[in-house]
Amino acid sequence: MNKLFKKNIDDILSQKYLSYAISTIVSRSLPDVRDGLKPVHRRIIYSMYQLKLFDSSSYKKSARIVGDVMGKFHPHGDQAIYDSLVRMAQDFSTRIKLIDGQGNFGNIDGDNPAAMRYTEARLEHYTNYFFDGLEENAVDFKENYDGQNLEPEVLPSKLPNILINGSMGIAVGMATNIPPHNISELIDCLILLIKNPKTNFTQINKLLNGPDFPTGGEVILSNSEKKEIYSKGKGSFIINSKWKKEDLKNGMYQIIIYEIPYQVNKIKIIEQLANFINTKKIPLDDIVDESDENIRIVLKPKNRNIDPKKLIEICFKLSDLSTRYSCNFNVLIDGTIPKQIGIIEILLNFLDHRKNSIKRKSEFNINKIKKRLEILKGFQIVFKNLDRIIKIIRTKDEPKKELLRKFKLSELQVDSILSMRLGSLKKIDEKNINQEINILNKDLKYLKNLITNKKSLDNFISEELKNINNEIHSLIKERKTVILKESNYSSDVNIDEFKEVEKFTIVIDKEFNLKRFKDHIEFEDLKKNNKDILYSSQLLSNQKLLLFVSSGKVFSIDPNAIPSGNSNPKSFIYFVDSMPNDKVVGLIDSSKNKIFAASKNGKGFISYIEYFITNQRKGKQFFNLKNNDSVIKVFLLEKSHIVCVTKLQKMLAFDISLIPELQKGSGVQLIKIKEKDYLSDLVDLNPEEGLTWNTGSKNRKLDKIDFWLGKRAQSGKKIPKFFNKNLKFSE
């Protein structure tokens, strides 16, 4: 029979999608704050409880468990149920395992578990804490999907499993991601909240260090991040791998990664680092996985000169050896209301659930004790009136009615009396009945006090938590994750630092062509083989070469880019954006410090290399030139005085203290320059060492320069005898 609906399609879609969204949130993706379980996990655990698969029993095939869960409680795919069961049995996925698995349940490499027909499972000892009062009306039961079985709405857990094992889920329009925590720390927090429900975050903060992952690692959690996460239920933090350095022979070493971030696939990390090795992004020679039941990833550096801390920093930066974990404390309140809450609210909700389940269990047991006491009081009447009761039972057609009438017994008492065996009418049984009544009365009084007295209930829960803390194995209680308030690692580590450091000598000839030689070679040795060499600079491969030109600009050049070996030298213009008429006037490496710059018009100043390093190809203007001036020389300043020579054969020496230190500028007058004159050359010296120069193949020396000593900007005096015709200190 067909039925037509006349409704707006928008209304139908929104209504149906809303139903689907609510179903996803409540019945699939978000955990209940009370027992910390999603429906699928609760159904698996309850089904195993019904199968009596406790930690003391034998294992059962996973396929049997999955079949029971699917048939009775969870009408979804068997693979989805099995995947949930497997996760609860993985010690790298849950902080405290809920299921004890036998067989291949997967590994941290991401390998799949064996099929459910091959694996077996039973409940872990920890899961016993979920069943307190389950059969004593501690929680409500509801009908399963077909109405043929009952399942618990929530388990009466003794512990806040939602924080102990954490939870992760994606619903419609919302998600949850709660990290696992240390059970001992949480028990301390609960005991504090029981004593004072108005406890603030500052007090909780002293007891709870932070997340505690099954895979360990180091969590970087500042005070502000911690407050944001645990007070508002949202935030993030960094998880770093743990590593150590192992020394090898000949000064070599290797790095051992022995703990990795939570929920990170070990094979993925190895693949990431292997790709970076192939593309030469990190200075590793090899990566080897030597893991067994413990993680051991071996990183082998290219050489022993690489700083291990900086090497691990670059690995953290480029791979999942360091990850960011985002927290989102979205939970179901009372199993129906999704809400993002902080840790105090989570713990208080759990305590309310625990108190409620204890009260319900106590009321169940009170009623049970009352019924038993009623029966025992009936038995007492039997012993007092034994002969009369036996006579009534033997002689009357309806002894039940007669006993009800004569002894004013209840129906429960009469039914119990009539079902008594003759063997229980011994004298000793009368004594045992009296003892049992006394014990039951004490239990009844205790349970009533537990329900009515808030302090008694609080003390009961506190003692219960302390006992649990003592029962749990020390290996489970021991914290696995280290919490640091700030990182010991730099995220700004530069990959260039890890390039193999070599010694270079860079030369430039009179045609301004650059060439690179291996090792450090002295200028005089270079000159022997090539008379055209103008300047040379000794530096390391990880340093910059600073090239100064006549237009007052400085350029930074990577020495690794300069041709070497049998390659032809290249003009400096190939490496920089320079003016066509520029001439190279200085070549200095970036490791040096103080320099001196001078121009043709006799201007000059002192500066420092650190001001001139630039990554721009167009360079940096350091000398402001006027009146068609040009820079003639930039050199490393190492001595106390400057000696200047002009084209009109004047020479002046003065103390460098008379020269200003500038980042850049026009400089000051070094020597007075007359019309048609210009500065020819200058050099630094120590007066006590004398002045040297070369004329042709001869080296000359002037022991005393007192005659030419003066003040800056003076005209100077006639050059010494035998000074070379080019008016240069070195030809």
> Alpha-carbon distance 207 to 203, whole Å?
7
- The token pair at 65 is 């468990």
> Alpha-carbon distance 656 to 446, whole Å?
97
Residue type, 82: Y
Decide if 329 contacts 341 (C-beta within 8 A): yes
Nearest to 526 by CA among 501, 509, 503: 509
Diameter of the chain measured on Cα atoms: 159
Helix, coil or strand: residue 723: coil
Decide if 182 contacts 188 (C-beta within 8 A): no
Instruction: Dump the DSSP string for 321-337.
Output: TEEEEEEE-EEEETTTE
Distances (CA, A) of 332 to 31, 39, 73, 346, 349: 6, 12, 20, 10, 10
Helix, coil or strand: residue 132: coil
Decide if 267 contacts 110 (C-beta within 8 A): yes
Classify 284 in phi/psi space as left (phi over 0), alpha (psi -120 to 50) or beta.
beta
> Alpha-carbon distance 161 to 86, whole Å?
18
Decide if 353 contacts 346 (C-beta within 8 A): no
- The token pair at 242 is 């743990």
Decide if 31 contacts 37 (C-beta within 8 A): yes
Task: Give every CB contact of residue 729 below 8 A, 6+ residues apart in sequence.
Answer: 643, 645, 681, 683, 692, 693, 694
Helix, coil or strand: residue 76: coil
Place of tokens 């001078």: 598
Nearest to 548 by CA among 504, 626, 607: 607
> Alpha-carbon distance 589 to 601, whole Å?
26
> Alpha-carbon distance 370 to 481, whole Å?
50
Element (H, E) at 258: strand 253-259
> Alpha-carbon distance 622 to 614, whole Å?
12
Decide if 550 contacts 509 (C-beta within 8 A): no
Decide if 110 contacts 265 (C-beta within 8 A): yes
Question: Catalytic amino acids?
Answer: 118
Length of the chain counted residue by residue: 731
Task: Give every CB contact of residue 496 below 8 A, 6+ residues apart in sequence.
Answer: 542
Nearest to 112 by CA among 215, 257, 265: 265
CA angle 711, 714, 720 (to 5 degrees): 95
- The token pair at 73 is 């409680």
Decide if 642 contacts 654 (C-beta within 8 A): yes
Distances (CA, A) of 464 to 54, 339, 587: 21, 29, 79
- The token pair at 80 is 């989805």
> Alpha-carbon distance 361 to 369, whole Å?
12
> Alpha-carbon distance 65 to 122, whole Å?
9
Decide if 4 contacts 34 (C-beta within 8 A): no
